[in-house]
Homo-oligomer: A and B are copies of this chain.
Amino acid sequence: MASVLRQSDPDFEQRFSAFLATKREVSEDVDRAVADIIHRVRSEGDKALIDYSKAFDRVDLVQHGIAITPAEIDAAVASAPAATVEALKLARDRIHSHHARQVPQDDRYTDALGVELGSHWTAVESVGLYVPGGTASYPSSVLMNAVPAQVAGVERIVMVVPSPDGRLNPLVLVAARLAGVSEIYRVGGAQAIAALAYGTETIAPVAKIVGPGNAYVAAAKRRVFGTVGIDMIAGPSEVLIVADSDNDPDWIAADLLAQAEHDSAAQSILITDDEGFGNAVVSAVERQLQTLPRTATASASWRDYGAVILVQDLDASLPLVNRIAAEHLEIATADPERLLAGVRNAGAIFLGRYTPEVIGDYVGGSNHVLPTARSARFSSGLSVLDYVKRTSILKLGVEQLRALGPAAIELARAEGLDAHGNSVAIRLNL
């Protein structure tokens, strides 16, 4: 079962630091293999995609085609249960509404000297979205990655998804259509990332690549970074729940397990000020684990990475909360706003007893692509800002150049950059 840490124990700081430093991912060394795959896709294009898909996914792209056709998407939509399509539409609409509020505004102004300054935002022209195959092929993730791009005004949203043994989750095609994805290709792995970055005969290159993937995909994204933009490299999911004893232990246990079922490297942490409540949650977790279809995964996650942290009072949890910097933070107390005010580091926060994190996974409207592994200390969840970029604008007339030029010349000379100084001096006859 999960570890128990007591803030009152004399060795708490040492144990908590060790807990924070625990690595939950084995980083496979796939960099050499990925470098070869990228090289071959750059030099051989579609032919490399066809060969790798045959070798890794056991699928013949000559027969099936690299591009997924509109007719295939039509068929996926027709085959999907109506209730699921409706739920996806609700999710899409709520994600769209929330993200529309994130579109940054241009700022153009003239300062007291008469200098015009500005920040001008434009959408990235084209984006590639990686979608994993197999059991982690989630339609909700397609919406979470593609809808903000659509809101930002990205013209070309390209999706790649492998079809191992020819199998493809039809719901990811449904989600792609709902989210305005413009092209879909039946490729995955490092070869798909290389195709998006450098292009092939069939796939035109994009400017930025987003979306989760396995070790090969992550290594390929790191390698092509610079040629294209990339999003964060996501690690295993995690939830931190701060709960008082007035919660139903079964509700909190269900939330811990919702995280644990994702991955044996997922992490679920409870912080509470009541040891009896903590024990009740642990019992409820053990009980609920019996009936879960993904019990092997959830059990391993809870056993290896789960934790119950007992604090003297919930206010004392705040420094721990901020050091954990969890991807998901639930505050299940009577007055969650009070603790919220002290939270500095978290990807997303879920307030009160009726906001299980799962609502944020699907239909809350906020994004479920969030910083993991303590990276909420320095980064944010996916948003419209990931699909736009800002250009600075500066405009001086001769008077403004007269006012500012001498200081620029002074600094250029102090830095030993004479040609810098000249470009100002020549305009002012200095």
Contacts and interface: CB of A to CB of B under 8 A. Distances in A.
A358 interface: yes
Given A91-B407, A139-B414, A423-B251, A359 B401 contact: yes
So how many copies of this chain end up in the complex?
Answer: 2
Interface string A394-419: 11111011001111101110111111
A145 interface: no
Interface residues of A, number: 122
Contacts of A207: 377-378
A340 interface: yes
Given A84-B410, A349-B394, A377-B124, A423 B117 contact: no
Contact of A343 (B86, B349, B391): B391
A278 interface: no
Interface string A125-157: 100000000010011100000000000000000
19 contacts: A81-B414, A87-B411, A88-B411, A101-B109, A111-B365, A250-B426, A257-B419, A257-B422, A258-B422, A261-B420, A262-B417, A349-B392, A353-B427, A355-B396, A356-B401, A358-B420, A360-B392, A364-B396, A364-B404
Interface of A: 81, 83-84, 86-88, 90-91, 97-98, 101-102, 107, 109, 111, 115-117, 119-120, 122, 124-125, 135, 138-140, 171, 207-208, 222, 226, 228-229, 233, 248, 250-251, 254-255, 257-258, 260-262, 288, 292-294, 298, 336, 340, 343-367, 370-371, 373, 375-381, 383, 385, 389-398, 400-401, 404-408, 410-412, 414-424, 426-427
